[in-house]
Amino acid sequence: MTFAFTNLDEQRRIGGKLIVSLCWVMAVVVISARLGVHGSLLGLGAATLLVAGGATFARTIAGEGSSGRALTGVALMAQVSLLVAALSGHAWQIDMHMTYFAALAALVVYCDWIVIVAATATVAVHHLGLNFLLPALVFPGQGDLGRVVVHAVILVGEAAALIGVTASLNRMFALIDADRSKAEAAVNAAQAAQDLAEAARRSEEDGRAAFAQDQARAEQIRAQTVSMLGQALSRLADGDLTTRIDAEFGTEFSQIKLDFNAAAASLRKAMEAISAATGGIRAGSDEIAGASDDLSRRTETQAASLEQTAAALDEITATVKQGADGARRASVVVSSAKTDAQRAGEVVRDAVTAMGQIEQSSGQITQIIGVIDEIAFQTNLLALNAGVEAARAGDSGRGFAVVAQEVRALAQRSAEAAKQIKGLIATSSDQVRRGVDLVGDTGAALEGIVAKVAEMDGIIAAIAQSSQEQAGGLSQVNVAVNQMDQFTQQNAAMVEQATAAASALRGEAEELARRLALFRTGDASAKGAVRTPAVIQEARAPARAVVGGRGKF
């Protein structure tokens, strides 16, 4: 589909129709998208139809002026914002942000930097405002000021590039209009000269035969002039901007030659400037595309590394949590052991007390045995005295002597028994004393064990608390790394969008360079441009029509 226009105003008029039509197409797309996600259609449907109608009304009222163009550009960006809002909550909502860049590129058809600035400001106000008020209408999930800043940087970069292209196109149109005016003036001058020559020829035919030879020579000069001018204009129409008229014209046609050469030189300089600017745009687009590709690769690598780090942190967090649980259980076990050790210490202290009481009882028994031993000694002494007295008594005391002997024997046996019991009591006392010492040592050891267990209980409790804090800290780090992983994935998607926009801009720059390659300017830097016969034949008719002021551009 082609559109015929002869100047910048005509292009803006046709571009305005396209932008308004695109607003209505976007209205249909917004309604279809809202129906596709099964959302409420009333508010968004009315809003998108109102915006499309407002664009039509603005173009009708404001006409082809800069304000009308700016309003239709703002309406187009509003339709894109409504499309993003229509897909709220859907996975494609973030992808629809690429439509902003496509719509902004479409506004270049106006060749008006005010329109691009107004559209960019509309998107900026929309993102900043709704990011805090209604973030779900801009991004999936919650608002994100960092993402808004990244979008703003990319959008401003594209707007700056598009403004540069718009300025170059405006200069190109201005130069072409000026050169076309000069060429038309040269043609009109040639036509006037032809009319003058014809008038002179008729005057000579009416009665001035004396000037017949001069008239013939003038006719020949005129014919040569027209022929050479026609050939030069034909070469100029074919795109050869190095064309010059070097042949000598008559005095009356010398100004035509000068005007034509000046117009061709001016047009050549304009095309050379445009070609240089196009080369700069293409180089910049290539650099942006290369940088975007490099950034995309680095972002993907960073996303993979963050994903691996998040997985490792998950495992470390689980391990630390298990260690914390084990430390907590060990603390409980050590606390129980401490309680048991304290209880065992109390039992040992009771045993030491009982051994002391046994030792006291042994001492009392030893005292009683001493009394019994003393009684036996006294009894033995009494029995001995009784035997002596019985011997003195003779036969009358013999029975008493027998009794005294038996008593003595009994006293001796009692003394021996008391002596044996005393030895056993002494041995038992030594063993009890040794047992008391052992039990005391055992109590001291148990008290040391209780102290060590208490100290161990404190250490394990501190370890358990530290493990809990480490587990909590690792959980927070894990959450932060997961968020970084999510943000990196989103940044990778945005880099892909920027790469796509840079590729589109590079394609447009290459297309502009291909169109400029149709013109031969004689510049050495333009020798690398490809000028195939098919391309030249394709552009020959439009180029000639521009010179005549009636064709397509």
Q: In the structure, what pLDDT confidence band is assigned to residue 517 with cuts at 50, 70 and 90?
A: confident
Task: Indicate if the pLDDT at residue 502 is higher than 70.
Answer: yes
Domain stops at, among 428, 459, 483:
483
Q: What are all long-range contacts of 492-495, with beta carbons under 8 Å and residues at least 24 apart?
A: 492/296, 492/299, 492/300, 492/303, 493/94, 493/95, 494/147, 494/150, 494/151, 494/154, 495/292, 495/295, 495/296, 495/299
Q: How far is CA 344 from CA 176, 190, 233, 447, in A?
A: 110, 130, 121, 9
- pLDDT above 50 (res 546): no
Q: Among 441, 462, 483, which residue terminates a domain?
A: 483
Q: Given this model, what pLDDT does residue 540 score?
A: 46
- Position 9 in a domain: yes
Contact 119, 103 (CB under 8 A): yes
Q: Is residue 206 domain-resident?
A: no
550 pLDDT above the threshold of 70? no
Which stretch of 31-35, 89-93, 524-528 has the lowest confidence by average pLDDT? 524-528
| pLDDT for the residue 531 | 46
Which one, of 385, 369, 377, 380, lies nearest residue 406 by Cα?
A: 380
Count structural domains, the chain. Answer: 2
Please report whether residue 406 resides in a domain: yes
Q: Is 423 exposed, middle or buried (0-12, 13-18, 19+ CB in 10 A)?
A: exposed
The answer to whether residue 82 is domain-embedded is: yes
* Residue 156 within a domain: no
Q: Has residue 532 got a pLDDT over 50?
A: no
Q: 76-88, pLDDT tens digit by residue?
A: 888 888 887 777 7
**How far apart, in whole angstroms, are the C-alpha atoms of residue 412 and residue 422?**
15
- Quick one: how far is CA 9 from the chain centroid? 43
Name the percent of the chain in helix, strand, coil, to the closest 5.
90, 0, 10
Burial of 195 (0-12, 13-18, 19+ CB in 10 A): exposed
More confident of the two residues 82 and 203: 82
pLDDT(463) > 70: yes
Position 548 scores a pLDDT of 42
Q: Is 316 exposed, middle or buried (0-12, 13-18, 19+ CB in 10 A)?
A: middle
| Model pLDDT for residues 38-53, shown as the tens digit of each residue | 777 787 778 888 888 8
**What domain range includes position 423?**
306-483
pLDDT class for 544, splitting at 50, 70, 90? very low
Summarised one tens digit per residue, pLDDT across range 124-176 is: 777 777 766 776 676 666 666 766 777 667 777 777 777 777 777 767 766 77
Which of 143, 161, 176 represents a domain boundary (last residue)? 143
CATH number at residue 461: 1.10.287.950
The pTM of the full predicted model, rounded to 2 decimals, is 0.33
